[in-house]
Each structure stands twice: as C-alpha cells, then as structure tokens.
Chain A
Amino acid sequence: EVQLVESGGALVQPGGSLRLSCAASGFTVSDNYMSWVRQAPGKGLEWVSVIYSGGSTYYTDSVKGRFTISRHNFKNTLYLQMNSLRPEDTAVYYCATGAANDYWGQGTQVTVSS
C-alpha cells in the first residue's frame, strides 16, 4: 500500500528556513515522479515543485531560487528545503507521487509570521 507522511511544518519568521520531509512506503521514491503541492488558507491548490526519477527538477516561479526539492534514496524520503520564507508561503504542504498526482500525503502546516 502506498503511503506518504509529511513532517517538518512549523511556525517560522519571515526570512527563515524550514525543511519538509515526506516519508514514503509501499513504493520507491527514487523510481517515481514526486511533487510538492501547497494550499494557502481558504485557497485552492498550487503546484510547487517536482523531481523526476532521473533527478531533473522543476519549480513554480514564486519559489525558484528559494526552495530546493531533493530525495534520500536509502531513507526513501522526499524533501523540500525552504529558504528566505515569506508570509505568502504560509500553507499546508502536501507531497504527492505519480505524474497525475495519484497518491497524496496528509499534509504539513507551514506558517510564516512574525
């Protein structure tokens, strides 16, 4: 059974950093297309980033240069390193797998506020 469990969300001040984790089971992260999607309070879904099995990565414009997606093959875990955080980054962050986002984790809350 595919399972994704996010962690690492927290309250952080503007300009701060945070690393989100997404622990996977039931499949191999490094063999799959893995994404981060976020949802600001009361808003819709926003795609953030993706990493391909071959290692290629893509980002939405608003996070380019600030966020980095990566994975740890041995730990079967996906990460999102978030630097220079802004209040507008406040959201629930979900990880998902599959080209069509077939499976999702339960999400982790990131709040950027002073």
Chain B
Amino acid sequence: DIQMTQSPSSLSASVGDRITITCRASQGISNYLAWFQQKPGKAPKSLIYAASNLQSGVPSKFSGSGSGTDFTLSISSLQPEDFATYYCQQYKSYPRTFGQGTKVEIK
C-alpha cells in the first residue's frame, strides 16, 4: 500500500496569513493526487485534482503543486472560512489512501 504522510498534523495561523501543507507519498504516484477540505460535521469538499488543478468553483487562493512523491497545498490570505482540516489522497493505485489530515486553526 502507498502511505501518505502529511505535515504538519496541525497548525495555527492568523487571518490573512499564507500557509503551506505538505503531503509525501511512500512511492511515486506521478500527479495522481487530490486535496480535500473538511469542516466539522460536514462532508469533505474537493479542492484540487491531478496535483495542481483547481476544481470548478474553488477560489484561486488555493493552489497545489508537486509530482512523484512530494506535494504541497498552499492557501493564501487565510479567511475564517478556511479554518478546517485538509486531506491529501493518492489515486494512483489500490487501495486508495489518504493522508492523516492537517487541522488548520485560528491563532
């Protein structure tokens, strides 16, 4: 199985900050990487697919990059609605696997 490791597991940031979350795959997955946002009690929402492609309707403050084993999700100008938990997921092989999540909290 491909292990997905996110870092950090949590972070505190202020409104207006820019943050970066890292996701590392235990083996190469090309660009078969998606990012999701989940708020408490809600379903996950897709933000990015194929490592760097923004889903329709997702604001351009979200951006993704990377290929192979190392990936990043960046969020610029954090707003109150961006405080949530973020997950990466590989869809290169089975079983599909998620990172453990990164909780973004208000400082």
Contact = CB atoms under 8 A, between A and B. Distances in A.
The yes or no verdict on A and B being binding partners is yes
Interface of A: 35, 37, 44-47, 50, 58, 60-61, 94, 98-107
A101 B43 contact: no
23 contacts: A44-B98, A45-B38, A45-B44, A45-B87, A46-B98, A50-B96, A58-B94, A94-B43, A94-B44, A99-B49, A99-B91, A100-B34, A100-B46, A100-B49, A100-B89, A101-B36, A101-B46, A101-B89, A102-B49, A102-B55, A103-B46, A104-B45, A106-B43
Nearest to B50: A100
Contacts of B50: 100
A106 B99 CA distance: 21
Interface in B68-107: 87, 89, 91, 94-101
Contacts of B101: 44-45
Contacts, number: 56
Contacts of B36: 45, 101
A95 B70 CA distance: 28
Nearest to A92: B43
Task: Please indicate which of the listed interface residues A50, A99, A101, A105 has the most CB atoms of chain B within 10 Å of its own CB.
Answer: A101
Contacts of A44: 87, 98-101
Contacts of A47: 89, 95-98
Given A47-B95, A58-B95, A61-B95, A104 B49 contact: no
Given A44-B101, A61-B95, A104 B89 contact: no
B21 to A, nearest CB: 14
